[in-house]
Amino acid sequence: MTARAGSAPPASPYVGLRAFAAEDRGLFFGRARETRDVAALWQANRLTVLYGASGVGKTSLLQAGVIPRVSTRNADIWPVGRVAPRPAGTTGNPFVAALLASWSPEEEPAAGSLRDFVRGRPERVDRYGDPLPTLISIDQAEELFSDFPRLTEERDEFLTELAELLGERSGTGLRLLLSLREDYLAAVLPYENMLAQGARARFQLRPFESAAALEAARRPLEGTHRRFAAGAAETLVEDLRTIRLTAADGTRSTVLVDTVEPVQLQVVCAALWASLPSSVSKITSIHVREHADVDRFLARFCGRALSAVAAEHDLPASRIRAWLRHTFITELGTRGTAYEGLTQTAGMPNAVVHALEDRHILRAEQRSGSRWYELQHDRLIEPIRQADPGEHLQDARLALHEADVSLAQRQAELALAAAGDDLRIRAQAERLLGDIAVRRQDIGAAQARYRTAASLFEVLGDTASVGNALAGAGELSMRSGRHETAVAELQAAVTRIPTTLHVRTLLARALWHAGQPRAAVIVLNEALAIDGENVDALRARGEILADEGSSVEALSDLGRVRRHQGATTLAARALALAMSGKLEAAEQEAEDALANAEDDGPVLLRVAMVHALSGQDTSAARLAGLALSAAAPEVPPHLRPKAVALASQVLDPSDEGR
């Protein structure tokens, strides 16, 4: 079976970073023994504690393995519970409220205690009329002990109530499974006797061994058009087991470990599936080597995780990466450790550290009463060391925002150098370097960067980004006086981002400067049909209409943009007023415009025309002469004859061509 041309790509059989859900049980492989053992322990013991490292797959095992295995004919299985305290305002014990809400997700539970909720739930019986065992579970039970030290009393009350419930229902078979991170196992030990009353079990979930990893990689493909060729899955798993270490002196070594982290296997398999051409039905070792670059996939995984944490905590991602390198990678290129303080871990706020743990970058364990952190796996050492171009881009944007242009340029160039074949990063870096060149007043360099960025975005099919880059180049062409080039670039931009009115207005001004005022008005009419109150479009149309002699229409537009008027708008309004016979008002606005005219050709010409209409011929001729020689900007071609006519009243005819 192959994908048809034009059809949507088939859904990936790998879940990636998220946990398996109940509906994913047909894709859940590699945990048959663990599923069987945990299901048996849960049904046989009053308390079962399932524990393991973050990212090892406890939630997946429970939801897609254990619960589907237990027959509903033999047990009453309740929805998986959670105990993360609910938002402020919840009455009663917050852990009780959270657990009841997870047991009754469709509606607010009427009961206010665990006992009342259980009593209010109909008892299920087997075919002989005997009560079925009731299996309840609490996933991520570390939420009882993490980040909520102020709720110690409430936690103890909750666990006491839970223990009493287990005791009351022991005859009818109420069974509790707690799933938690391995580093919180010590926190639950003091409560085990109270909860279990002797009938308890623990099960440690470990990473995949090679055979299980192969099954987890191969078998999800059974319902798809793809298969691994002989040896291909082995190549992928062996690469995941291979750890490459680099010491501070550059010495390199390779270690082959016995296990594979499930989260890493899912990340790499999902990325491999997405990167293969749709026509590939047999995944060979060559495909694995070409497309399943484990280091690259894990580097992207780390980069996305660090960027997300950085955004959440308003920190540069590069700072977090540097902290990880300094704190958790030794000079020998191996994993280091750091203990958690009251508010910080090795100088980093604990909130950031916890977020990195949640995203499977760090793992924690209890030692002598303290929490110690290390990288989730040796396989992350090199990805953490690698420079991430996205982080350089983020730092470059931040530096530019803070007006540190030199730092912004260094970071953007580092992003470009590290981008490799990532066209999006290259395009974004080129666009940002264009912005930086504008800050440096290097217009030529900025235009080159914008045009390169537009070409790269075009390859990516990112139409909006192409339009924005072309608009940037077009605006710079206008500033450089190359109006024909500006028109071409801005027309191309408008076709890609037609609803961006700022770009339409720029195109209209470029057309006006290029001597096409009627075309400019048509473009502005289209813009104002989209948004009739757009200030920039009204201002531009009013100025052009004033030059064209349409004084009533010009005053109508310019009267709607009276705030923050610059010299060009004041001069256009003065000209429209003068043409309407309101000479006194026109003279005042003309003087205000002239005070800021400097070397502005259109402003000087408009004021010259106002003076001419007021009978001040000498002043009009002088200002028209200045307009002809102005360069910032020049008088547009279609207005130069007017300037020449006014200036010739007192100037030598040989000066008319200026």
The fraction of the chain above a pLDDT of 70, given in percent, is 92
Domain end residue (candidates: 206, 221, 244): 206
What is the pLDDT averaged over residues 448-468? 94
Residues 261 and 378 in one domain: no
**Is the domain of 174 the same as that of 318?**
no
Provide mean pLDDT across the span 240-260. 78
Instruction: Check whether 657 has a pLDDT greater than 60.
Output: no
Given its phi and psi angles, is residue 16 left (phi above 0), alpha (psi -120 to 50 degrees) or beta? left
Higher pLDDT, 26 or 98: 26
53 part of a folded domain: yes
pLDDT at 118: 82
Last residue of a domain, one of 271, 292, 313: 292
Express each pLDDT in 360-388 by its tens digit: 888 887 665 678 888 877 778 888 887 77
479 Cα distance to chain centroid: 34
- Give the pLDDT of residue 307: 86
| 164 in a structural domain | yes
Instruction: Let me know whether 131 and 244 are in one domain.
Output: no
- Report DSSP letters for 229-255, one per residue: PTTHHHHHHHHHHEEEEE-TTS-EEEE
Instruction: Give me the CATH number covering residue 36.
Output: 3.40.50.300
DSSP-derived letter for residue 146 is S
Residues 176 and 113 in one domain: yes
Which tokens hold the place of 286? 């060559």
Q: Using one digit for the tens of pLDDT, what is the confidence trace for 318-349? A: 889 889 989 998 877 777 889 899 899 999 99
If asked whether residues 30 and 178 sit together in one domain, one would say: yes
pLDDT at 412 over 50: yes
What pLDDT is recorded for position 24? 92
Range of lowest pLDDT (127-131, 221-225, 382-386, 499-503): 127-131
Would residue 28 count as lying in a domain? yes
pLDDT tens profile 26-52? 999 999 999 999 999 999 999 999 999
Task: Report the pLDDT averaged over residues 215-220.
Answer: 96
Which structure tokens are listed for 94?
């917050």
Q: Tell me, what amino acid is at 116?
A: D
Q: Is the pTM of this model over 0.85?
A: no
What is the model's pLDDT at position 165? 86
Q: How far is CA 468 from CA 424, 426, 496, in A?
A: 15, 16, 9
Q: Is residue 349 part of a domain?
A: yes
Per residue in 156-212, pLDDT (tens digit) is 999 999 998 888 765 557 899 999 988 889 889 999 999 988 789 999 999 999 999
| Cα 113 from chain centre | 41
Residue 227 and residue 352 in one domain: no
- Going by pLDDT thresholds of 50, 70 and 90, the confidence category of residue 107 is low
The domain that holds 279 is classified in CATH as 1.10.8
Residues 73 and 190 in one domain: yes
Residue 135 confidence (pLDDT) above 60: yes
Its domain, for residue 327, covers: 296-385
Q: What is the pLDDT of residue 27?
A: 95
In this structure, the answer to whether residues 46 and 128 fall within a common structural domain is yes
44, 235 in Cβ contact below 8 A? no
- Structural domain includes residue 524: no
Identity of the amino acid at 75: A
Q: What is the DSSP string of 531-597?
A: -TT-HHHHHHHHHHHHHTT-HHHHHHHHTT--TT--HHHHHHHHHHHHHTT-HHHHHHHHHHHHTT-
Examine residue 267 and state whether it is found in any structural domain, yes or no.
yes
For residue 346, give the nearest of 369, 365, 372 by alpha carbon: 372
In this structure, how many other beta carbons lie within 10 angstroms of the beta carbon of residue 44? Answer: 12
Residue 156, in any domain of the structure? yes
- Domain end marker among 179, 206, 233: 206
The answer to whether residue 557 is domain-embedded is no
Are residues 337 and 361 located together in one domain of the fold? yes
Q: Do residues 150 and 270 share a domain? A: no
If asked whether residues 244 and 340 sit together in one domain, one would say no
Can you state the angle between helices 483-496 and 501-513, rounded to 10 degrees? Answer: 160
Q: Are 554 and 571 in contact (CB under 8 A)?
A: no
Question: Cβ neighbours of residue 196 under 8 Å, at least 6 residues apart?
Answer: 45, 46, 47, 166
How far apart, in whole angstroms, are the C-alpha atoms of residue 359 and residue 365? Answer: 16
Number of domains in the chain: 3
Provide mean pLDDT across the span 127-156. Answer: 82
Which CATH number goes with the domain that contains 372? Answer: 1.10.10
Do residue 93 and residue 169 come from a single domain?
A: yes
Provide, for the chain, the percentages of residues in helix, strand and coil under a 3-state DSSP scheme, each rounded to the nearest 5.
60, 10, 30
